Amino acid sequence: MAMTPVENLEDLYENAPCGYLSLAPDGRIVKANATFSAWIGFSQHELCEKRLHDLLNVAGRIFFETHFAPLLRMQGFFNEVALDFVTNDGSKIPVLANAMERRDDEGGLLFTRITISKAADRRRYERELVDARAAAEAAKRELQALNASLETRIQHAVEERFRMEESLMREREMSELREQFIAILGHDLRNPLASFGGALRMLRRERLTPQGERLLDLLQGSILRMAGLIDNVLDFARGRLGGGIGLNIKSEPLQPVLEQVVGELRAASPDANIEADFAISKPVPCDHVRVGQLASNLLGNALTHGDRNQAIRLQAITEQDEFVLWVGNKGKPIPQIAMKRLFQPFVRGGASGQGLGLGLHIASEIAKAHGGTLTAESSNVETRFTFRMPLARARDEVRTVSQRSR
Amino acid sequence: MSVLHRNNVRITGSGDRPVIFAHGFGCDQNMWRLVHPAFEPRFKVVLFDHVGAGRSDLTAYRSDKYASLSGYAEDLIEIARELELRDVIFVGHSVSAMIGVLASIRAPDVFESMVLVGPSPCYINDGDYVGGFTETEIEELLDSLADNYMGWSAAMAPAIMGNPDRPELAEELTNSFCRTDPDIAKEFARVTFTSDNRADLPKVGARSLILQCRDDVIASEQVGRYVHDRLPQSQMTILNATGHCPNLSAPKEVISAIDGFV
């Protein structure tokens, strides 16, 4: 049977699993155990010539003096103070120290006893905690900054959205106003004109003097021209205000429409000589009213500017893959300089004070809307306006234009 | 906001002549607990905590104001003006010695005499001047604050609270230490240990007493002599006490030195 070993108090002090230091009231080390001596690298004898300060780094010294020493004086002990000791070879030992004052019966300070435990792992852990806290706080600040910037960005986006909606609303209001304006304009101008026309037809049934008949012819011509002007003004307004020229494509025969236009103009200008020639052998998919308007505008232009004593000619034919309609008149040629601006709005030709200068512009726009062209040639022999419109391509392009313009 | 609340000002004593006690870096007005009672019978004793320390109003702390000792000096003057004190005997420990120097230059009408305990106008060595520390050492100190606050401020409190014999002391200290905001302490340490008030010393008009401990690792005797040489009307007393806090370690010596001076 093994003997139970007897604990040796001297050995317990010297080789305890912690360091022991005893300080005199002036801070000098008066006793240190072997464990501490081994840790710090000074012999016990060497230690007794030092003060606690000498074993601390600068930060530790200042902290000890400003914090731990006052605490020790006030309450007679301190626990779990973190310190760094500096060893004989200059390396650092992080420790936790507990201290207690030993006083005599009269309260005079005899010793300060300090126990020292190594705390490298604990210090590392604390350091990590501090670092983690710093990282968390940095992350928090970053998050706050991000939040702030997000809020600003959202606010900007919302404001932008509001602005866009507002401008969209304004746009819509404008568009509605425009439609109303155009509708009212058309209605208000056309209605009285329709009354004129109705009255004129009723007057035709009356028995009239030849003078009266002539006056009625003049009136009818004026009504027709006025209706054309109104159409042009409305189309121009639509085009300029953003509505575009709308097309209503039909494939019904075009010739009757054109014949009617020619008939109306003949009736309105009885003294003029209009020769019409049709060779439409294929369906022409187009907006009949618009093409009629184009023809009417070209004829009206010829009647206004051409030589009244010579025939005005209109020809409408389908070629291989094109529909071609031209109107020619005799008379003074269009000056070269005017040719360039012929299809711009409000350009009025020569001496006659008639029209707004919209007829050719609208005709040109109608041609474009059909994917075609309107060109002019003018010489001493003839002034001729030619509308060409592709038949094959027409469908697609016309539809596209038509959709875009709606 | 009341200045008296901001600085946790306490007034005791039955005399007329005012003594203001100011604590240094690391503690609060408790630093004077063993000294001020001796003056109560004959003086009006004024104790306070610097903003950021003890039971001061932490919400009054502003990094820009307290980035220099002048901010603390302003507070000291405000306290004296608020209490309408004249011919004040100012007793300042450690960094508060320099705070008092600055205040007395700014408000010479308030301060009649100064007692500077362990003063240092500059802790960092500069050419021939020996402040006691190199710049690197001070940076090391400031860097180490984080470690020490983890091991000390947080861990100390429960131990003190568990001291059943002296509950009043425990509570005071616990409150004081628990309320030491680590960030404020770090800034106070920086302003304390990086200030240089050497040029201000000759401007002081009040008479002054320097109390110097032997073996003070924070403010050496050499630094004390430097202050004594440059303060116009100063005397110096070397105490037998060691360390930086004679107000705690040798209160009787401190009391009799102050008594002899006033």
A232, A185 Cβ separation under 8 angstroms: no
Residue A341: per-residue pLDDT: 83
- CA distances for B253 relative to A74, A96, A120, B97, B239, angstroms: 17, 33, 41, 18, 7
Instruction: Tell me the C-alpha distance between B119 and B98, whole Å.
Output: 7
Query: What stretches of A234-280 adopt beta strand conformation (E)?
Result: 274-279
Domain annotation for chain B: domains and CATH numbers: 3-123+197-261 (3.40.50.1820)
Q: Average pLDDT, stretch A162-183?
A: 82
Q: A406 pLDDT exceeds 70? A: no
State the complex-level ipTM.
Answer: 0.78
- How many residue pairs from chains A and B have C-beta atoms closer than 8 A? 113
Task: Name the nearest CA neighbour of A369 among A260, A294, A299.
Answer: A294
- Under an 8 A CB cutoff, do B244 and A57 touch? no
- Under an 8 A CB cutoff, do A69 and B151 touch? no
Question: What is the C-alpha radius of gyration for chain A, rounded to an integer number of angstroms?
Answer: 55
Q: B156 pLDDT exceeds 50? A: no
Residue B1: per-residue pLDDT: 60
The upper half-sphere exposure of residue A339, i.e. CA atoms within 13 Å in the direction of its Cβ, equals: 13
Instruction: Tell me the C-alpha distance between A366 and A387, whole Å.
Output: 10
pLDDT tier at B146, thresholds 50, 70, 90: low
From B92's Cα to the closest Cα of chain A, the distance in A is: 14
Question: Which residues in chain A touch residue B218, judged by CB atoms under 8 angstroms apart?
Answer: 61-62, 65-66
- Least trusted range by pLDDT, from A8-12, A344-348, B39-43, B69-73: A344-348
- CA distances for A83 relative to A261, A366, B243, angstroms: 111, 96, 18
What is the Cα A205 distance to its own chain's centre?
A: 66
A 10 A CB-CB count for A405 gives 16
Task: Name the nearest CA neighbour of B241 among A129, A114, A26, A154.
Answer: A26
| A63 lies within 8 A of chain B by CB | yes
pLDDT tens digits, one per residue of B100-113: 999 999 999 999 99
Residue B248: per-residue pLDDT: 83
A299, A368 Cβ separation under 8 angstroms: no
Residue A400: per-residue pLDDT: 43
The side-by-side arrangement of strands in the sheet containing B17-22 is B10-12, B43-48, B17-22, B88-93, B111-117, B207-214, B234-242
Q: B158 pLDDT exceeds 60? A: no
- Least trusted range by pLDDT, from A120-129, B36-45, B46-55: A120-129
- Under an 8 A CB cutoff, do A58 and B141 touch? yes
Domain span(s) for CATH 3.30.565.10 in chain A: 227-405
Residue A73: per-residue pLDDT: 80
Q: A269 pLDDT exceeds 50? A: yes
pLDDT tier at A194, thresholds 50, 70, 90: confident
Fold of A10-118: Beta-Lactamase (3.30.450)
Question: Which residues in chain B touch residue A66, judged by CB atoms under 8 angstroms apart?
Answer: 24-27, 94, 218, 244-245
Nearest CB to A59; choose among B25, B144, B169: B144
pLDDT tens digits, one per residue of B165-181: 444 544 445 434 444 67
Q: Average pLDDT, stretch A186-195?
A: 80
Q: Pairing mode, if any, of strands B17-22 and B88-93?
A: parallel
| B199 lies within 8 A of chain A by CB | no
- Least trusted range by pLDDT, from A20-34, B57-71, B175-189: B175-189
| A27 lies within 8 A of chain B by CB | yes
Residue A198: per-residue pLDDT: 87
pLDDT tens digits, one per residue of A71-100: 788 778 887 787 889 999 999 898 888 999
pLDDT tier at B3, thresholds 50, 70, 90: very high
- Least trusted range by pLDDT, from A81-85, A257-261, A301-305, A342-346: A342-346
Question: Which residues in chain B touch residue A54, judged by CB atoms under 8 angstroms apart?
Answer: none
A365, A293 Cβ separation under 8 angstroms: no
Question: What is the C-alpha radius of gyration for chain B, rounded to an integer number of angstroms?
Answer: 17
pLDDT tier at B54, thresholds 50, 70, 90: confident
Residue of chain A minimizing CA distance to B93: A66
Residue A356: per-residue pLDDT: 63
Q: A31 pLDDT exceeds 90? A: yes
- Least trusted range by pLDDT, from A4-13, A284-293, B167-176: B167-176
Q: B68 pLDDT exceeds 90? A: yes
Fold of A227-405: Heat Shock Protein 90 (3.30.565)
Instruction: Tell me the C-alpha distance between A303 and A325, whole Å.
Output: 17
Largest CA distance in chain B: 51
Contacts of B71-78 with C-beta under 8 Å, sequence gap 24+, read: B72/B96, B72/B99, B73/B99, B73/B100, B73/B102, B73/B103, B73/B106, B74/B103, B74/B106, B75/B3, B75/B6, B75/B7, B75/B50, B75/B51, B76/B20, B76/B22, B76/B100, B76/B103, B77/B103, B77/B106, B77/B107, B77/B110, B78/B3
B242, B250 Cβ separation under 8 angstroms: no
Q: A165 pLDDT exceeds 60? A: yes
Question: Which residues are paired to B88 by β-bridges?
Answer: B111
Q: A234 pLDDT exceeds 60? A: yes
Helix (H, G, I), strand (E, B) or coil at A29: strand
Instruction: Tell me the C-alpha distance between A306 and A116, whole Å.
Output: 122
Q: Average pLDDT, stretch B130-147?
A: 82
Residue of chain A minimizing CA distance to B143: A59
Tokens of B174: 């616990």
What does the mean pLDDT of chain A come to? 84
Alpha helices in chain B (DSSP H): 3-6, 69-82, 95-106, 135-148, 155-161, 167-178, 182-194, 221-230, 246-249, 251-261
pLDDT higher at B155 or B239 = B239
pLDDT tier at A206, thresholds 50, 70, 90: confident
Tokens of B244: 């930086």
- Under an 8 A CB cutoff, do B26 and A123 touch? no
Mutate which of A51, A62, A84, A121 to disrupt the B interface (most B C-beta within 10 Å)? A62
Three-point CA angle A205, A210, A215, nearest 5°: 75
Q: Which one is catalytic: B49, B216, B220, B228?
A: B216
Residue A406 identity: R
B197, B73 Cβ separation under 8 angstroms: no
Mutate which of B144, B177, B240, B253 to disrupt the A interface (most A C-beta within 10 Å)? B144
In sequence order, what are the residues at sequence separation of 6 or more whose Cβ sits closer than 8 angstroms to the Cβ of residue A13? A20, A33
Residue B231: per-residue pLDDT: 94
Instruction: Tell me the C-alpha distance between B25 and B8, whole Å.
Output: 16
From B72's Cα to the closest Cα of chain A, the distance in A is: 19
Instruction: Tell me the C-alpha distance between B215 and B97, whole Å.
Output: 19
Q: Average pLDDT, stretch A192-212?
A: 87
The upper half-sphere exposure of residue B246, i.e. CA atoms within 13 Å in the direction of its Cβ, equals: 31
Instruction: Tell me the C-alpha distance between A47 and A26, whole Å.
Output: 15
- Least trusted range by pLDDT, from A31-35, A162-166, A229-233, A288-292: A229-233
pLDDT tier at A4, thresholds 50, 70, 90: confident
Domain span(s) for CATH 3.30.450.20 in chain A: 10-118
B89, B82 Cβ separation under 8 angstroms: no
pLDDT higher at A222 or B127 = B127
- Least trusted range by pLDDT, from A220-229, A265-274, B175-184: B175-184
- Least trusted range by pLDDT, from A182-191, A212-221, A237-246, A322-331: A237-246
- Under an 8 A CB cutoff, do B26 and A75 touch? no
